[in-house]
Amino acid sequence: MTEWNETDHPRDEIGRFTYSNGGENGKSSKDEPYKGNNNIQSREDLLYNNTKEKNKPGNITGGAASIVNDEISGVKKGEPMTIEDAIQGVNPNYDIFGNPTYKTNCQSGVAIFEARLRGYDVEVNVPYEGGIKDKLEKRPNIAYIDPATGKTPEFTKIKAQNEFDCINYLENTVQKGERYVFAFQWKNSINRNNEGHIITVARDSNNKLKFYDPQNQYIYNNAEVLEKIKYQFNWSEEPDPPKILRVDDKELNKEVLDQISKPARKSN
């Protein structure tokens, strides 16, 4: 697989990445402006239910939505956490030997990561199989509530044919201070029952897009994630193309969070 790095590709006059050979060659001295997919969504397409709700400010280093619960899993809301503290405490049993549960809980991890950023010192709980875990695998958006409607918000499908479509969409959509969950299928997955993943995407303090994986505490750059994703050329007929959901301006669904989290263990 060719290593792709955004620094290998200049941007055109409106900020889109450029490349040659349809994006198949990650490094070329003859890069041409990529004209992209004509169906790429605008930022307006992202607004749930076409509402024009004013975006609420957030901060990846500790901000949160203004809506709060009194407590989650018995834990009172404290001071918002930094990105480093929040991600480290989400899934502390990830490397535990012989228990795969903590390696298949990404749906819970992103919601708990968001809760920790808001000041709830909780970590992943082991939910019963067949219960909330299965529901979250099918619909991870049930962990959030749209305050404008009182209902579960829906994901926005990314109309991307390749990683260049995807990065241009994310660059145009994700603004500083906003946080999104980003769900996708792995390109080379064989087991269709375990091919999906979900992480958080936001801008760091230098305004660079970063991909945060609360399940394993990794922080990825663009190439490490985007070149490994399965993209749909006929995306409208595919059930599960890459998709995002803004969450920093959403309420946390306490009923769900109470089932998937527990008070964080205290280190000595």
Model confidence, pTM: 0.74
How does 113-152 read in b/e, with b if 16+ C-beta sit within 10 Å?
Answer: bbbbbbbbbbbbbebeeeebbebbbeebbbbbbbeeeeeb
Q: What is the pLDDT of residues 142-160, one digit of tens each?
A: 999 999 999 999 999 998 8
pLDDT of 27 reads 38
pLDDT of 129 reads 61
Low-confidence ranges of the chain (pLDDT < 70): 1-69, 97-98, 127-130, 189-194, 233-239, 267-268
Q: What is the pLDDT of residues 160-181, one digit of tens each?
A: 888 999 999 999 999 999 999 9
For residue 173, CA distances in Å to 4, 45, 115, 158, 180 come to 21, 10, 23, 11, 10
